[in-house]
Chain A
């Protein structure tokens, strides 16, 4: 088996606040293989964004307590001094963010902002950097790129801005691209375009990609692996098919149930997951999902379930006996 590109071991990110310790990420381990696309799915506050901001060293809260290992190309990024970390950011690992409306600086031209990223890592003139920026804009499908490079972000539509962000992120040919909710702020039609673009660029640039999202339906077909997060922990992980067709965690069932599908009968309503995501300060005892889980039993309230392998790379953290899971999924979830 080849070496993983990114290996995260028992990562914990805690923020002390006046109200108590916020356990945003609480013991997360996973890996990203070269050339694969990993989807990280979870509700707001599940710790998915914080996990990857930590990978890039973008957690700026001074008091944050970060433990564990983030091994990227054999180097623990959590131990790299801030100045050296700069040469990783943007160059080897780059990131695009949820809201393209606010992620570009409103006062600088788009081409210049991309050029700035290039010049942060390569010794080229401003003119050369701009030329590369124009080329990148073209590759992400922006028409008339030389004109567009000379415009300000407010002259771009949302989808175009996200394309520009992608162009910026890929301009240095990174090994890993982290896309944090890249389509959430966009129209549905544009969402598909952006995801297709990311797919295409993965092959062209030969990069590994992590797509962080709350929308399981959107990413399933674009990802090799999926990882479901809940309350700062991984609830279930596996190949896209594992999660989509054979999910073992009731939370994953809930996520699947809340996807709108056109082939469903009209009368059928979406099935939301009852309740709210838990407080990350007062995390429920045992399995943190148990207050919202319709199948919870006594053990769930006391004992924290471990992420146990099922078969191959498929693993889930749930106390339900295997037979019960298969029965419930077949009768109640898949039947819908």
Chain B
């Protein structure tokens, strides 16, 4: 177990290095315009630009620049998203502060949606698998087809149109200016975003669980379980689901990790001030440090999610521990 963990961590460090290096190349070596010139604004002199270039460290060798940049990836006080690099010159605020301020919204959106998609996707997948070709299976798979096919931005506006504009059941998009997060949740501001974000995932999970479970139920060890005289319920839930859900745990961890880096479309459609919205705003404002900061932050979440998933998987599947 210890060696397995060490190997996984070393591998993740390698992944982080590759991601950070590519990101660095994209932002520093292929810039759409000189960052120093951008900071200087419209009225500038060559001296000012030189000075800014020096302040930003853009005149240092590339490896020093990369080092500063990569330091921002390391979760260590003062290093993570350090202000040397990750400092927004659009509004002169550290990127870190911007992200931390928006993180609770993104976490709320992600966690709520994750709960809903599990509550919808898992039961549909199980029922479809144990009663294949039944009316429940057909209905479930039609739902899955719609859920997988419907684009989130379209679904978002559709839901807003129906449930807010026409029926008035749900509040509109955006959060009240001075409401706390808890107040916004209580006002039901997150209900539509949760549902919309969760539907595509629920559909995908239902399909995946159905496929996994059908495959598992034809395994030899399921026949053994039946031959032992176990009840069909025990055969399905203890023997079938255990195997069928293990890969789902992996998926789930990854999906949550990705979403914590910003649910770009959902946050934009519902005007939620989360990390995804910040990403979009940074891109449109040419706020490079902001975009870099979000990239690094999202990478960090995905990598952590990967590690968590690997560890959990080793507990779920005994064969992995010694592999």
Task: List the A residue with the shortest CB-CB distance to B231.
Answer: A86
| B276-323, CB < 8 A from A | 316-319, 322
Please determine whether A103 and B318 come into contact, CB atoms closer than 8 angstroms.
no
Please determine whether B220 and A117 come into contact, CB atoms closer than 8 angstroms.
no
Please determine whether B221 and A102 come into contact, CB atoms closer than 8 angstroms.
yes
Q: Distance in Å from the Cβ of B68 to the closest Cβ of chain A?
A: 46
Task: List the A residue with the shortest CB-CB distance to B232.
Answer: A82
Q: Distance in Å from the Cβ of B24 to the closest Cβ of chain A?
A: 42
Task: List the A residue with the shortest CB-CB distance to B226.
Answer: A58
Interface presence of B227 (CB below 8 A): yes
- A90 CB contacts on chain B under 8 angstroms: 227-230
Please determine whether A117 and B318 come into contact, CB atoms closer than 8 angstroms.
no
| A39-90, CB < 8 A from B | 56, 58, 60, 82, 86-90
| B207-226, CB < 8 A from A | 219-221, 223-226
Determine the distance from Cα of A201 to Cα of B257 in the docked complex, in whole angstroms.
54
Interface presence of A334 (CB below 8 A): no
Interface presence of B239 (CB below 8 A): yes
Interface presence of A200 (CB below 8 A): no
Please determine whether B228 and A120 come into contact, CB atoms closer than 8 angstroms.
yes
Do A104 and B227 form a contact, CB below 8 Å, given A152-B319, A154-B318, A154-B319?
no
Please determine whether B230 and A116 come into contact, CB atoms closer than 8 angstroms.
yes
- B219 CB contacts on chain A under 8 angstroms: 102
Do A105 and B229 form a contact, CB below 8 Å, given A154-B318, A154-B319?
no
- A154 CB contacts on chain B under 8 angstroms: 318-319, 322
Interface presence of B243 (CB below 8 A): yes
Do A91 and B223 form a contact, CB below 8 Å, given A105-B239, A106-B317, A152-B318?
no
- A97 CB contacts on chain B under 8 angstroms: 220, 223-224, 227
Interface presence of B138 (CB below 8 A): no
Q: Distance in Å from the Cβ of B98 to the closest Cβ of chain A?
A: 44
Q: Distance in Å from the Cβ of A16 to the closest Cβ of chain B?
A: 14
Interface size bracket, A side: 20 to 34
Please determine whether A86 and B318 come into contact, CB atoms closer than 8 angstroms.
no
Determine the distance from Cα of A29 to Cα of B261 in the docked complex, in whole angstroms.
67
Determine the distance from Cα of A121 to Cα of B231 in the docked complex, in whole angstroms.
11
Interface presence of A168 (CB below 8 A): yes
Determine the distance from Cα of A99 to Cα of B246 in the docked complex, in whole angstroms.
23
Determine the distance from Cα of A107 to Cα of B219 in the docked complex, in whole angstroms.
13
- A87 CB contacts on chain B under 8 angstroms: 229
Do A117 and B229 form a contact, CB below 8 Å, given A97-B220, A104-B221, A107-B243?
yes
Interface presence of A208 (CB below 8 A): no
Q: Chain B's interface: helix, strand, loop or mixed, by majority?
A: helix
Interface presence of B7 (CB below 8 A): no
Determine the distance from Cα of A307 to Cα of B223 in the docked complex, in whole angstroms.
33
Please determine whether B228 and A168 come into contact, CB atoms closer than 8 angstroms.
yes
Please determine whether A107 and B318 come into contact, CB atoms closer than 8 angstroms.
yes
Interface presence of A288 (CB below 8 A): no
Q: Chain A's interface: helix, strand, loop or mixed, by majority?
A: mixed
Determine the distance from Cα of A152 to Cα of B320 in the docked complex, in whole angstroms.
12
- A237 CB contacts on chain B under 8 angstroms: none
Determine the distance from Cα of A182 to Cα of B79 in the docked complex, in whole angstroms.
62
Determine the distance from Cα of A113 to Cα of B304 in the docked complex, in whole angstroms.
35
- B54 CB contacts on chain A under 8 angstroms: none
| A90-141, CB < 8 A from B | 90-91, 94-95, 97, 99, 102-108, 116-117, 120-121
- A116 CB contacts on chain B under 8 angstroms: 228, 230
Determine the distance from Cα of A165 to Cα of B227 in the docked complex, in whole angstroms.
11
Determine the distance from Cα of A56 to Cα of B226 in the docked complex, in whole angstroms.
10
- A60 CB contacts on chain B under 8 angstroms: 226
Q: Distance in Å from the Cβ of A210 to the closest Cβ of chain B?
A: 14
- A108 CB contacts on chain B under 8 angstroms: 242
Please determine whether B243 and A89 come into contact, CB atoms closer than 8 angstroms.
no
Determine the distance from Cα of A334 to Cα of B225 in the docked complex, in whole angstroms.
45
Determine the distance from Cα of A204 to Cα of B206 in the docked complex, in whole angstroms.
49
- B239 CB contacts on chain A under 8 angstroms: 105
Please determine whether A120 and B229 come into contact, CB atoms closer than 8 angstroms.
yes
Task: List the A residue with the shortest CB-CB distance to B222.
Answer: A105
- A88 CB contacts on chain B under 8 angstroms: 229
Partner of A103, one of B220, B231, B242: B220
Q: Distance in Å from the Cβ of A209 to the closest Cβ of chain B?
A: 15
Please determine whether B319 and A106 come into contact, CB atoms closer than 8 angstroms.
yes
Please determine whether B229 and A121 come into contact, CB atoms closer than 8 angstroms.
yes
Interface centre among A88, A105, A168 (most CB of B within 10 A): A105
- B322 CB contacts on chain A under 8 angstroms: 154
Do A104 and B224 form a contact, CB below 8 Å, given A117-B229, A120-B230?
yes
Determine the distance from Cα of A103 to Cα of B226 in the docked complex, in whole angstroms.
11
Please determine whether A89 and B220 come into contact, CB atoms closer than 8 angstroms.
no
Task: List the B residue with the shortest CB-CB distance to A101.
Answer: B220
Q: Distance in Å from the Cβ of A48 to the closest Cβ of chain B?
A: 16
Determine the distance from Cα of A274 to Cα of B322 in the docked complex, in whole angstroms.
47
Chain A, residues 173-217, CB within 8 Å of chain B (1/0): the string is 000000000000000000000000000000000000000000000
Task: List the A residue with the shortest CB-CB distance to B223.
Answer: A58
| B226-266, CB < 8 A from A | 226-232, 234, 239, 242-243, 246
- A120 CB contacts on chain B under 8 angstroms: 228-231, 234
Q: Distance in Å from the Cβ of A115 to the closest Cβ of chain B?
A: 11
Determine the distance from Cα of A199 to Cα of B210 in the docked complex, in whole angstroms.
43
Q: Give the top 4 A-B pairs by smallest Cβ distance, nearest first.
A: A90-B229, A89-B229, A117-B228, A102-B220
Given contacts A90-B229, A152-B318, 11 further A-B contacts (CB under 8 A): A56-B227, A58-B227, A82-B232, A87-B229, A89-B226, A97-B224, A108-B242, A120-B228, A120-B234, A152-B319, A168-B228
| 11 residue pairs from A and B, CB less than 8 Å apart | A97-B224, A103-B224, A106-B221, A106-B317, A106-B319, A107-B242, A107-B246, A108-B242, A117-B228, A120-B231, A168-B224
